[in-house]
Structure 1
Amino acid sequence: MKNSPRRRRARLALPATLLLAVTAGTLTACGGAASAPARSASAASAASVASASSPAAPPPPASHRPAGSTLHMIDNGGHRLAFHVTPGRLPAIVLDAGGGLDSSYWKDLVPKLAAATGSEIITYDRAGLGDSDAVPGPWNVQSAVGDLRTGLRELGVTHDVILVAHSQAGEIATYFTRADPRLVSGAVLVDASLPELYTDEEIARLVAASEPQVEAAKKNPSTKKNRQLIATAESFVPLHRAYHRASWPDGVPATVIVSEKTPFEGSPKDARRWREAAAAFVKAGPERTLVTADGSSHDIPVDRPGLVLGEIEKMAAARG
């Protein structure tokens, strides 16, 4: 049977967004009870100073913030970052959304996670997203790692962290954990971008497929979405060649949740490679678990929130 015109158009449009699928989230629907333990006086002071380190900015609308959270605007090298903290005990659970997405992605999950675990829950906006300041130039994963490290330090979170990373945030989680594995108790990697995917062949496929959309974005760089795409594309090749050589520390447990449909639902070859990368990551070290989100798109936290919540709960219970 012949494909309908609508289906043919979908197949033709898909390749232009492959790079974004793993780094900027545009293939997804997002494009589409104990009290907290007392921290040291210096840590509490640092958190207070951090939240007042920049001129007061209008708070984000209530619909953007997780219920029961407090906004902290933290300065790192001259740009401000928005962190939202829901109080609780350790281990602290840090939720990091995929490329092009801000902390509001998690707002419905945060209250459920706080109630289920009693943990402190932290979400934040990476530079250029949500209420955080933009940083000019190509996207730099090490800068993103530095922003997260500074934010947690200023909030007094210096140990016993569980990272929950979706899509592009898997790259930040990998480098963050490699830099200080003693800080991270465990991780839940939700359809995350993993080093095993980025062979030279796959990098070339993603870049070539996305070139038309990148060129179109350059003609109108005034929108936040286009600026994110341009910044990602400018650094994509060298960053991902280096990322392919990165490895996850053996001493840090990780649960990998891979979607059934992957970011490449219309490209079977790339979808297979995405799933194979997840399986290879899990086999490469101890204390790693692979979970498949049956029926889910790349947007697992929206399609299967109960599954994500359950896996985070398991990790928190095991590491708490």
Structure 2
Amino acid sequence: MSRLSPKHRSAYRALSALALLTLTAGAVTACGASDPAPKDPAPEHSASPAADRAGASKLRMITNDGHRVAFHVTPGNGRTIVLDSGGGEDSSYWNALVPRLHADTGATVITYDRAGLGRSEVVPGPWKVESAVGDLKAGLEQLGVTRNVTLVSHSQAGEIANYFAEENPRMLSGAVLVDANLPPLFTDEEIARLVAASRPQVDAAKKNPDDPRNRQLLSTAENYVPTHRAFHKVVWPDAVPATVIVSEKTPLEASPVDAQRWRDAAATFAKSGPGRTLVTAEGSSHDVPKDRPDLVLKEIEGMVAAPAS
């Protein structure tokens, strides 16, 4: 491995924490990190800041399991595209892509803030994928969206996508998994490697647990091993087509072994069922929607346009 500059050594340290959460790089390095959720979320149906400029997106606050979750809806025709951000990122991560998707497809485009991010309320305790899946399903149902959904999931949101698809295949017409966490990666050996690599960052985060980035790191780390052993067993339904975009560099580029395992996991997932396609985002970091937006748009629009199986 070539010697790392100070800038890249900093990125390497950030990617050690990234190894545990497999977050978007910006979430860990504070580029585009979310502010704490406000104590008093904006009223339902109000426009988001981005919506004021675009004149289309509306904020809808839904309630699930005792907490409020912010959904941002750009209305369109009967098709729906749901964009789910990586760990530590809120709905604003997709701001540049939403108007382009809406203009190109005419579909309703929905983004949302997971609990503790953006305008959504904090839920204390460890991060539970079941709760995240429940929030997404409850939000879509309360918005009247129960079928013909194309789910687009980046990074840690891949875990939500896999459980959501397994439990609700009839709601989905397809999915685009953008450098996403996928079950084949999380063998017992790889889980142990990721936990060990991330331990210094977890210990450092404990010194300032109220910081939104640290809160996300700590909540995910708390039950990481059992959560990802269970995730390793999740089976994507054959009825739901999926495009798997894998970055060339991966979120684990500082470790050639782990980076190759990331790519291998994407290839294994793509080969494990019908209707799955593997696409490599050449030259891209883990931050594929920022590095290769045209590629991401192309694959989403292709999935939306594909005839129902």
- TM-score, normalisation: structure 1: 0.87
Given candidates 161, 174, 183, the residue that maps to 1:173 is: 161
Given candidates 230, 233, 239, the residue that maps to 2:218 is: 230
3-state SS in 2 of match to 1:176: helix
Give the residue type in structure 1 aligned to 2:115.
Answer: A
149-158 or 219-228: bigger deviation: 219-228
Q: CA deviation at 1:63?
A: 4.2
Q: Does 1:291 align with 2:279?
A: yes
3-state SS in 1 of match to 2:164: helix
Please name the residue that 1:25 is paired with.
24
Q: Does 1:243 align with 2:243?
A: no
3-state SS in 1 of match to 2:170: coil
Please name the residue that 1:260 is paired with.
248
Q: Does 1:62 align with 2:79?
A: no
Partners of 1:172 and 1:279 lie apart in 2 by: 19
3-state SS in 2 of match to 1:114: helix
Change (3 A) 1:17 1:159: same
Partners of 2:105 and 2:7 lie apart in 1 by: 44
Partners of 1:174 and 1:137 lie apart in 2 by: 22
Please name the residue that 1:46 is paired with.
none
Q: Does 1:134 align with 2:133?
A: no
Structure with larger Rg: 1
Q: How many residues align?
A: 298
Please name the residue that 2:68 is paired with.
80
Partners of 2:183 and 2:160 lie apart in 1 by: 11
Query: Which structure 2 residues correspond to residues 183-198 of structure 1 after superposition, within 5 A?
Result: 183-198=171-186
Give the residue type in structure 1 aligned to 2:13.
Answer: A
Please name the residue that 1:148 is paired with.
136
Please name the residue that 2:35 is paired with.
none
1:53-86 Cα offsets, whole Å, 9 max, x none, are x883796761487831011011112211100111
Given candidates 293, 300, 307, the residue that maps to 1:312 is: 300
TM superposition outliers: structure 1 runs of 4+ over 6 Å: 27-30
1:189-239 Cα offsets, whole Å, 9 max, x none, are 000000000000100011011111111111221211111111000011101
Q: Does 1:107 align with 2:95?
A: yes
Change (3 A) 1:116 1:199: same
Partners of 1:223 and 1:79 lie apart in 2 by: 20
Change (3 A) 1:8 1:254: closer
Give the residue type in structure 2 aligned to 1:123.
Answer: T
CA contact 1:25–1:101 (8 Å) conserved in 2: yes
1:247-296 Cα offsets, whole Å, 9 max, x none, are 10011000000000000121111110000000000110000000000000
CA contact 2:28–2:213 (8 Å) conserved in 1: no
Change (3 A) 1:8 1:144: closer
3-state SS in 2 of match to 1:279: helix
Seq. identity, %: 61
131-140 or 210-219: bigger deviation: 210-219
Change (3 A) 1:233 1:184: same
3-state SS in 2 of match to 1:182: helix
Give the residue type in structure 2 aligned to 1:19.
Answer: A
Partners of 1:213 and 1:75 lie apart in 2 by: 33
Change (3 A) 1:56 1:288: same
- TM-score, normalisation: structure 2: 0.90
Unaligned runs of 5+ in 1: 33-53
Query: Which structure 2 residues correspond to residues 157-172 of structure 1 after superposition, within 5 A?
Result: 157-172=145-160
Please name the residue that 2:267 is paired with.
279
Q: Does 1:16 align with 2:16?
A: yes
Name the Cα RMSD after superposition.
Answer: 2.4
Unaligned runs of 5+ in 2: 32-40
Q: CA deviation at 1:181?
A: 0.6
59-68 or 94-103: bigger deviation: 59-68
Change (3 A) 1:133 1:27: closer
Q: CA deviation at 1:30?
A: 7.5
Partners of 2:87 and 2:171 lie apart in 1 by: 24
3-state SS in 1 of match to 2:114: coil
Please name the residue that 2:38 is paired with.
none
3-state SS in 1 of match to 2:294: helix
3-state SS in 1 of match to 2:169: coil
CA contact 2:20–2:195 (8 Å) conserved in 1: no
Give the residue type in structure 2 aligned to 1:131.
Answer: R
